[in-house]
Structure 1
C-alpha cells in the first residue's frame, strides 16, 4: 500500500523532492499521437506556463523540470525560510492569485475595517493558506487540475487527464540532487526527442542556457549560488557553469552517435561529490529505474531510515561514490 504523502515529506531530512505526474494510460495527451497524427504539443506549453506561474505563488522553488509527451518531471525545493518571513497580508494576496479565499480575507486585502472576531478568522485562514503554500501535494494539485480541465474542454470530453497519484522521491543530499536534476534535464535526449540540451523544448535546462547567454539566471527557477559556504545565499549548492558543463558533456555521451567518456577531473561537481565518471553515467541515464522513494548516498539513506523508523527496501540503493 502506498505511504501517505505526509509521511513521505520530511523537511527535517530534506527540502528537495522529485515529482512525476503521468497522463492516464500513459497516452500521448500532451505530445503527438503517432497513430492519428494529431498533435497536442501545445499542451506542453500549458504545463510549463502553469508550473512557472505557481513558482511565483508558492514557497516552493523549481530546481529542474521537463514536460514530456505523456508525463512531467519536476524537482522542487520547499522554502520554509522564505514563507516564514511572509506577513499575513502577503500570504493572503498570494493565495488569492489562485483562489478567491473567504469574504473576510477579501475585505482584509482591500483594507476594510473588520471586527475582532473577523480578524481572528482571517488569521486562521492565513495560517491554513500558509501551510498549503509550502505543501507539495497542493502544488501538484494546483498544477494538474487546471491543465486537465483545459484539455478536457478542448477534447469535448470528461474524465481523468492525469493519473490520480503523482510519484515523489526524497533527495537526501547533494549527490542525489545533482543526479536527479541532470536526469530530468536530459530526459528529452535520453528518449531521442531532442539532440542537445539547448534545443530541449519545455525544459529547465533550455531556459537556464538561454539566460546564461546573457549572463543571467531565469527568475522563475531556483538559482545556482555556488558551492556550500558560510553565509550562503538562498539557492542551489552548485556553480551554474559547472552544472551546465556537466549536463552538456553527459548529453553528448548518451547520444548514440557520440560515444565517449566523461573525464571526472574536468568536472568540479563530480569531484566535490566524489562520484566517479562511470557511476555518474549510470546514474544520469538510469536514475528512474534504479531509485525508490528516497534517494541519496548509502550513508544518507541509512540515516534517513533510522531516524524515520523505516525498514530499508531493496530499491533504496545508495548513489555509488568513488572507491
Structure 2
C-alpha cells in the first residue's frame, strides 16, 4: 500500500529536500519546438478514469496519500480570521482519530494551507509547530492585472509575514501575444522576490487558448525558476482538466530530462471528488513516477475535496456514508 508522507516540514518544501530550480537562460529554439497534439492528448486523458480504478484497502491508501497532497484553501471575499483558524485546525487533523485508528494509520496533515495575503499571519500563528507551510496567493490574484511593482511588493510582504510558498499568477496576455521574453522576465523577477519561499506559477490554463500555449507557458515558467507549475486560480470558467494536466506534466518530464531538476505540479479548481483525486494521482505516477507522489512535488488546490475523501474513508471503515455537513472545512 502507498504510505503517506511524514508531516515534518522537510516533507513539504522541495527546496529543502531537492535541488531547487535555479532556472535557465531563455532558449527560444526549445520553446518553438514545443508542440501539443490535442487529439492524442485528449484520447490519452479519456482512458484514465476508466482504466485506473482501485478498491477497498488500496483505495483507502490512495485517498490518505491524496490528503497529504492537498493545499487546503480558502480564497473568499468573506474570509475571516476565525474561518482561517478553523481551516488550519482541519489541516492539522484532516481525518477523525477513530477512522485513522481503524486504518492503523498515524496522524497525517494536509500539504499546506493556502490563503490571501491578509490572512497569512493568522494562518502562520495557527499552524505554529505543525510543520504545515502557509501558501499565499499573490501578484494581484486572480487576474494578475495590478501594476507590476505592486505585484512584486505583495510577494515580498507575504514572505515577510511568514508565507513559505507563494502562488503567483502570470500575465496571460504575454502568452496570448506570444511575448515569451516578457513572460520569462516576469517569472524571473517574481522568483527573485520570493527569496527562500518557493514559487508556484499559476498559468490560468482556461484562458490560454490552446494546449500548445499551455505547454510553452509551462516551459517558460520553469526556465524562469518556478518550483511548481499550477493549472488555475480556481476562478476561471475552466480550471484543472486531465488534458491540461497531461500537457503540463509532460513539460515537467521534458524539463527534468534536460536539466535534472524536479518541478512540482498543482492542479487546482474543480477537483472535488475522491475518485477524481485518485485519477490525478494515477496520471502522475504513470507519467512522472512515484517520486512525484509526495507533497514536495504534487499538490491539489482544493477545499471541498477533503470532505468527500473523509466520507469515502468513513464508508470504508464503517460501511456507512456520513452526511456532508459532518465534515465542515472552516
Q: TM-score, normalised by structure 2?
A: 0.24
Q: Looking at both structures, which has the greater relative contact order when contacts are Cα pairs under 8 Å and sequence separation is at least 6?
A: 2
Q: Which has the larger radius of gyration?
A: 1
TM-score by length of 1: 0.24
**Which structure carries more helix by proportion?**
2
